[in-house]
Every structure is written in C-alpha cells, then in structure tokens.
Amino acid sequence: MSISINKLDYMSKKKRRLVLKNKYSNSDIIIIDLYNLYCNIINFKKHKLFSRESFIHCINIISKTFSKNNIIFVTKKVFEIELEYIINFTKCNKNINYVIVEDYPEWKSQNRERDDYICLLLQYLYKRHQYNSYIISNDQFKNVHLILQDIKPMYLTIINNGTIQTKEMTVDDYEVYNKQLLHSSINRIAFDFF
C-alpha cells in the first residue's frame, strides 16, 4: 500500500519533532525500538499504513534527533523498504547500526517480541562492557518474563557501514542470557511527537 503525498505532508507537519522524556548524553549508545517508534511517528492507529516514504521519514527524524550518538535500530523486517536502501543509509551514517530480527521459517508469527528481546539483550551486553545505553521506546517492558519465556530461535541481519553480517540466535544463546536479563535494570526513554 502506498502512502499519499498529502498524508505524508500532514504527518511531517503535524509531528515534526521527537521529544524525549528523559535526558541522555552524546556518549550514550541509543538503542531504537524501531517498530515502536515507526508506528508512533506515522500514527498507525489512525492512518493504517506503512510505506517506503513513511519509513524513510521515520528513520530521518530519529537519525537527526540522535545525530551525535551511536544508534542501533532494532526492528522486525520492514517489507516496505529494500535492503539496498538500508545498506546505503548505514554507509552514509557511520554512527548507525541496523539490526533486522527474523524468525526461523518454521516459527513464523509466534515470536512477536523478538525485537524487544534483542533491545534488552543489547542493553545488557553494553552494560557488561561498561557502556551506558538507552532503549528509546514507549514500551514499558513490563512483560520481560513473558518475552524471555516466549522467545524462539531467530536470525539477526546486522548492517553497519554498508556491510552485512548474520547471526543465528538459538535456544543455547537464550539459556546463557535469560537469567541475567530477567534481573537486569532497563534504561528506557519514552517519547512524544510535537
């Protein structure tokens, strides 16, 4: 489904600025729960649309907001945007990593919180290495125990500086991290658009 230019113009005028509800520093690593931000920026509840134009609009807003930070976009696969665009986007924006989280083919549609899991895991791993990071999301992660219980094997496609790496996440990987994730604090910043 393609978005009309009028709707995109309306969204860009109506929601011009990402306003964060907490402070962060330029040295903090910013982990973006992209699907959460995307749905909020384009006001999916109202407009019921995803498009290439709305996706580009969304990542441009986020990239400008955090231009001085290292950013990690974590998302389920967004079918409206081609992989080549993301590869070029990371080439032009050296501070951006882009992680696509996909189910194994046999687990399709049963792994709803897989991107949330990866956001939490990344934050935990950065903490272990003494880096400060924030997850940008309006999701309050009150269901962490359910996220940890329901997680299934998945693939990660990691794009940085125009290069692609893949990582397989298995049950063995989850056993290593789940206890720590259950008891790890979450640094999250909620947002609005004005």
Cα–Cα distances in angstroms (integers) from residue 45 to residues 10, 19, 106, in the given order: 15, 20, 30
pLDDT of residue 110: 59
Rounded to two decimals, the pTM is 0.88
pLDDT of residue 3: 42
Question: How far apart are the C-alpha atoms of 140 and 188, rounded to whole Å?
Answer: 8
pLDDT (tens digit per residue) in 30-48: 999 998 898 888 777 777 7
Question: How far apart are the C-alpha atoms of 52 and 122, rounded to whole Å?
Answer: 27
Mean per-residue pLDDT, 90-116: 83
Question: How far apart are the C-alpha atoms of 178 and 33, rounded to whole Å?
Answer: 19
Q: Which residue has the tokens 């231009």?
A: 67
CB atoms near residue 150 (< 10 Å):
14
